Amino acid sequence: MHLTAEEEAILNGEEGETKQQLMEILVGVGKVFGADEMVPVRSAQVSGASYKTIGEWGLKWLSSLDAHAAVPAVLNPVGMDRIRWEEMGIDPGFAKKQLEVISAYERLGIRLECTCTPYYLNITEYGDHLAWSESSAVSYANSVIGARTNREGGPSALAAAIIGKTPKYGLHLVENRKPGIHIQVDGEPKGADASWYGALGYLAGKISGNRIPLISGIRPGRDQLKNLGAAMAATGAVALYHVQGITPEARVFSFSSEGLENIVIEADEVASLFTGEQVDAVAIGCPHCSPDELMTLATLLDGCTVTKPVYIFAARDVIERENEHIRKIERSGARVYADTCMVVSPALERYDRIMVNSGKALSYVPTMCGAGAVIGSTKDCIRAACTPDV
């Protein structure tokens, strides 16, 4: 792997122990994956931020580091809302540890924006190289924006944030971004909401595995693409997908399905995932809600009172910008939390069955929260938890 003189100097410890250690991580990853060189990144998104996942060892390691981020960098969701954690029923002992993890990242110059939707913060554009780590964010950056990122682990994303570079391999190279399977969707319902695309992604991810799907027969908008990609990244290992005529690289490169394995998914198969079972809580915002999704929720909840807990998750920056919608939503008794989510927070572990409008949550809630998950449209979710009926 070719290193510049500046990179060599960091590796030799000339800029301190922390940078040396982090450069060793980047060079190690680069060698394993056959990178020829490093590439500068425009931004980083660092996972391994929830105390639920990194524990005491991770906190100790973070606290031992001494450096500052070279590029804009944010965190993945943590185990609780940094401000409203008591209201979420979080144990004070857990909260103390979680706040220590957050301070350790802050000391390293990472922005205290804990979200899986960093693309709403305007830190990336088409063609940018990134070092993002949360699977749905990686999928959105690669597929919907046309930026380039591998799915980084927590330490390698942090290393990229501090050094400002990442090894150039995998999805950073244009030749690795071509489709490897064609998925043809039959019967896309007119006006289907994002949950339908989440359910489609739940099926398509299982079929695709780690191949890059070229999908035809659908015309999703941005929130629908977000849900589709998040689910494919959860049930498969899809870090990039193309939708014919819709996603930017599919339009630039006009990929053909010729010679690819062809799989058909019928609308009936997608519909069969919507079982309408009873639930004892509702969770929305996996991935974190967009401004448009918050507006839809405010409209649906206007004049209603929730009779079951309704948790909604979004980035703090988005919540602050959408103040009016948040007030309307919370007047119903539903709660909008920042910094965390239904999967990384221990708050939802107390329920038996949760309704979600996300294919990714359908896959993760049972394994990560130990609760059953039922998928419904956003309207179904509100209907399941509110009076009067919407």
Please report, as ranges, the residues that interact with ligand F3S according to CB under 6 A: 77, 116, 134, 136, 230, 286-288, 313, 341, 343-344, 360, 364
DSSP per position, 254-283:
----TTSEEEEEEHHHHHTT------SEEE
CB of 313 to ligand F3S, least distance (A): 6
If phi over 0 gives left and psi between -120 and 50 gives alpha, with beta otherwise, what is residue 184?
A: beta
Q: Which is nearer to ligand F3S, 226 or 325 (CB)?
A: 226
Nearer to ligand F3S, 288 or 328 (CB): 288
Q: In this complex, which beta carbon is closest to ligand F3S, that of residue 255 or of residue 311?
A: 311
Owner of token pair 């990384």: 344
Tell me the closest approach of the beta carbon of residue 116 to ligand F3S, in angstroms: 3
Element (H, E) at 305: strand 305-306
Residue 49 or 215: the one with the smaller Cβ distance to ligand F3S is: 49
Distance CA 67, CA 31 (A): 24
Q: Which parts of the chain fold into alpha helices (H)?
A: 5-11, 17-32, 51-63, 92-107, 135-140, 154-163, 194-208, 222-235, 248-253, 267-271, 291-301, 316-321, 323-331, 359-364, 378-385
Nearest 5°: phi and psi at 273? -80, -15
Closest CB to ligand F3S among 67 and 73? 73
Tell me how far apart the alpha carbons of residues 183 and 155 are, in angstroms, rounded to a whole number: 34
Question: To the nearest whole angstrom, how small is the minimum distance from the Cβ of residue 78 to ligand F3S?
Answer: 10
Q: Residue 301 CB, nearest distance to ligand F3S (Å)? A: 20
**Residue 114 CB, nearest distance to ligand F3S (Å)?**
9
Q: Cβ atoms within 10 A of the Cβ of 47, count?
A: 25
Q: Which is nearer to ligand F3S, 22 or 44 (CB)?
A: 44
* Least distance from ligand F3S to the Cβ atom of residue 105, Å: 16
d(CA 277, CA 347): 22
Is the Cβ–Cβ distance between 265 and 186 less than 8 Å? Answer: yes
Residue 366 token pair: 């049972």
**Closer CB to ligand F3S, residue 279 or residue 286?**
286
Least Cβ distance, residue 291 to ligand F3S (angstroms): 16
The minimum distance between CB 287 and ligand F3S, in angstroms, equals 4
Written as six digits, the tokens of 57 are 């060892």
Nearer to ligand F3S, 216 or 227 (CB): 227
CA distances from 341 to 109, 147, 322 (A): 23, 25, 18
